[in-house]
Amino acid sequence: MIVIHPELCSGCERCQVNCSFFPSGSVGRSRSRGKVVKVEELGIDYPVICRQCKERYCTRCPESALEVGPLGQIVVSPTLCTACGTCETLCPIGAIELYNDIPYVCDLCGGDPRCVAQCNMGAIEYVPGESGTVSLAPYKKESRGLDPEEKRVRFALDRTRELREAWKASVGA
């Protein structure tokens, strides 16, 4: 499982750049399987990456095009996928997004996540064997009707709430 340490994230987007380049050979936010959410007015930078959640909402694909791999990662079968968007709709945190009619979701780079290797701030950590331990059920209801970017922003705001409150307390705001 990928773990994010938001207090260490500088917003450099090295994780996003490497996440797009490694599997495709080209760079672009739409090709990245993890996306950095930036909420400038609050000073938040938060990479949203598949949490390999307990519920595995995305695997409820009507075509069985998504399944759980040996590392707990989500594996997409491009031959079975019909680009129906069910996986994108079901992911409560916006960690899946269709690009060129293929769902883009973290596959852990075969056990060597490039986002982790390229984060020189230590904001992203790979913890093998922790797949399926995190529940995203609390995000499911409030994610209905939102597009992936809106889901990512809501998730990032929630995951950084304590950090923002601690910062406010430390500066007396």
3-state secondary structure of 68: strand
| pLDDT at site 173 | 61
Question: Taking Cα atoms as reference points, which of 33, 30, 13, 4 lies closest to residue 95?
Answer: 33
Rounded Cα–Cα distance for residues 75 and 165 (Å): 37
Per-position pLDDT tens, the chain of length 173: 999 999 999 999 999 999 998 877 778 888 899 999 999 888 889 999 999 999 999 999 999 999 999 999 999 999 999 999 999 999 999 999 999 999 999 999 999 999 999 999 999 999 998 888 899 999 999 999 999 999 999 999 999 988 888 888 888 76
Rounded Cα–Cα distance for residues 101 and 99 (Å): 5
Query: Taking each helix axis from N to C terminus, what angle separates 161-171 and 148-159, rounded to the nearest 10 degrees?
Result: 50
Pair of tokens at residue 145: 């009707």
| pLDDT at site 76 | 96
How many Cβ atoms sit within 10 Å of the Cβ of residue 54?
13
Q: How far is CA 12 from CA 17, 86, 123, 134, in A?
A: 9, 31, 11, 26
Rounded Cα–Cα distance for residues 116 and 53 (Å): 19
Question: Taking Cα atoms as reference points, which of 71, 72, 107, 101 lies closest to residue 88?
Answer: 101
| pLDDT at site 107 | 93
Pair of tokens at residue 12: 């450099």
Read off the pTM: 0.90
Q: How many residues does the chain have?
A: 173
3-state secondary structure of 145: coil
3-state secondary structure of 43: coil
Decide if 19 contacts 32 (C-beta within 8 A): yes
| pLDDT at site 25 | 79
